[in-house]
Amino acid sequence: MEELAEFTENAHEGASFNFDRDSFSRLWYATPFMYTRDADPLEESNWTVISNDLLKTHPEGVETHSFGHWGFGWYERLYVRADDALAIRSVQSWADSLASYGVANDEHLSEVEWNQNHPSEKECYSSDPDCRCDFMTHSCGDEFRAAVDTGNLHIVDEEWYCDFCSEWNPITNTQHRYMNTVAARAEIQAECAALEAAGQLAFAI
């Protein structure tokens, strides 16, 4: 408890308050758990996991507050009531846990890292060269075949448009052959369907 009281004295350097700082600091201790505007995945994950746990476990003994800051832009910090021994004990438990390992929840951290590295299916900012996201595993060839199969191929001047890449690509000889094969198959199927409907064919190819 003495450590939190001492920590609180210097925790608000550079922060802008819209309430009475002294009276607030007498009732609430600042904790080392904070979330800044430009948080990296580890900071964001630890903040989310720890703040959710403490706010759920001690709804009356823990609060979060946001502040403007000349350096961070803004930040949020977790506070614990100075007279709530159980909440303080939980805060200390999380502090000890982070001091020992540094990650509040590995699974949640992985999820946050993935989301930050992949703001959309067409973006990848991961440093992993073997990332298995849609962007890294995308194949224009697969997109072409899917477009042909579904009849959604857009062609202009011997170039086709890849919806995933948002780019025009020249049609290769192999792709021309695939288009011809699909067209021939569709023609045969249409003829067979017509014969079957007329009762002249007992099966469909």
- More confident call, 135 vs 52: 52
* pLDDT per position as a tens digit, 161-180: 998 888 899 999 999 999 99
Alpha-carbon span 118 to 50, nearest angstrom = 24
Predicted confidence (pLDDT) at residue 101 exceeds the cutoff of 90: yes
- More confident call, 204 vs 105: 105
The pLDDT of residue 183 is 87
The pLDDT of residue 106 is 97
DSSP conformation class of 112: H
Residue 17 pLDDT level (bands cut at 50, 70, 90): low
Other CB atoms within 10 A of residue 30 CB: 22
Predicted confidence (pLDDT) at residue 16 exceeds the cutoff of 70: no
The pLDDT of residue 194 is 81
Question: pTM for this structure?
Answer: 0.68
Name the residue ranges covered by the structural domains of the chain.
2-116, 136-197
* pLDDT per position as a tens digit, 36-88: 888 999 999 999 999 999 999 999 999 998 877 666 678 888 999 999 999 99
Alpha-carbon span 46 to 112, nearest angstrom = 10
Average pLDDT over residues 81-104: 95
The pLDDT of residue 18 is 58
Least trusted range by pLDDT, from 9-23, 30-44, 111-125 = 9-23
Alpha-carbon span 104 to 93, nearest angstrom = 11
Alpha-carbon span 159 to 151, nearest angstrom = 16
- More confident call, 195 vs 47: 47
Mean pLDDT across the chain, nearest whole number? 86
Predicted confidence (pLDDT) at residue 32 exceeds the cutoff of 60: yes
Comparing CA positions, the residue from 87, 20, 24, 91 lying closest to residue 60 is 87
The pLDDT of residue 62 is 95
